[in-house]
Structure 1
Amino acid sequence: MSTTPRLPPEQRLGLIAWAALTVLQPVWHAWLFPAQIVPAWLVVAIATVPLLLPLLAIRNVRRALLWVGILSLFYFCHGVSEAWSAADQRWLAIIEIALTVLLIGLLGAGVKRKAR
């Protein structure tokens, strides 16, 4: 029998969305559409490292997801600008937008949930 409490569904889904957003960045910027002028590793580092910083607070999942939600606002803006300006990358931008909206929505659902 496990003594660790189970995470609420919105936190589990938030962790999955966070992981998907983190994986999307190197796939997008290094594999599918690598940068032409700037080194690809630099673009991947700039896009991915901020999403890894909340791992420092992972012991408290709510706090880590709060930081990811705050960071996801920047990724939302990036997704909207890429969807508007780069037609060939629009589908990746829409995925990024959907993941960020999901994260922000799950944060709202987690706040509304009463502690037991």
Structure 2
Amino acid sequence: MNAATTRRPTLLLALIALAALYTWWFLDDKHWLATQLVFTGPPLLLAVALRLGWRLAPFWSGVCALGWFSHGVMSAWSHPETARLAWVEILLSLLVIGLASLPGLRARFGKKRP
């Protein structure tokens, strides 16, 4: 079993967990549809793309996760009432970034083959 086959299911679960977090977080928002399209939509679309085998899905998951990380830090800092949700968002986005970056890190810092 290679690294890609063990990484994809974890990345898929992290994206689904982010979508579920956003669904829960913005459930009572007065702009419910907008928040679902902006926050819940991208991780769900990336999860579907990953499941369908789109080659660039891990890359774009990592790129989007940088924005999710920034949102989580901003929310944790400025909204104490949602700080716990923001910290979960931060941790999940860091997981997505790490999983998306793992092949490049292994290529750069892994053992060199002769």
> Into which bin does the TM-score normalised by the smaller protein fall?
0.7 to 0.9
Q: Give the unaligned 5+ runs of structure 2.
A: none
Which string of whole-angstrom CA distances, capped at 9 and with x for unpartnered residues, describes residues 8-38 of structure 1? 22222111111101111111111xxx32xx4
Alpha-carbon distance, 1:56 to partner: 4.1
2:60 match = 67
Aligned-pair RMSD on alpha carbons? Answer: 2.4
Correspondence 1:12 to 2:9: yes
**The one of 98, 104, 107 aligned to 2:100:** 107
TM-score, normalising length: structure 2: 0.77
Which residue identity is paired with 1:93?
A
Q: Give the unaligned 5+ runs of structure 1.
A: none
Count of matched residue positions in the alignment of Structure 1 and Structure 2: 105
* Pairing of 1:91-106 with structure 2 (within 5 A): 91-106=84-99
Correspondence 1:42 to 2:34: yes
Check the 8 A contact 1:11/1:62 in 2, yes or no. no
2:45 match = 53
Check the 8 A contact 2:15/2:44 in 1, yes or no. no
| Sequence identity percentage | 30
Check the 8 A contact 1:11/1:61 in 2, yes or no. no
Aligned partners of 1:11 and 1:99: how far apart in 2? 15
Check the 8 A contact 2:26/2:36 in 1, yes or no. yes
Which residue identity is paired with 1:43?
T
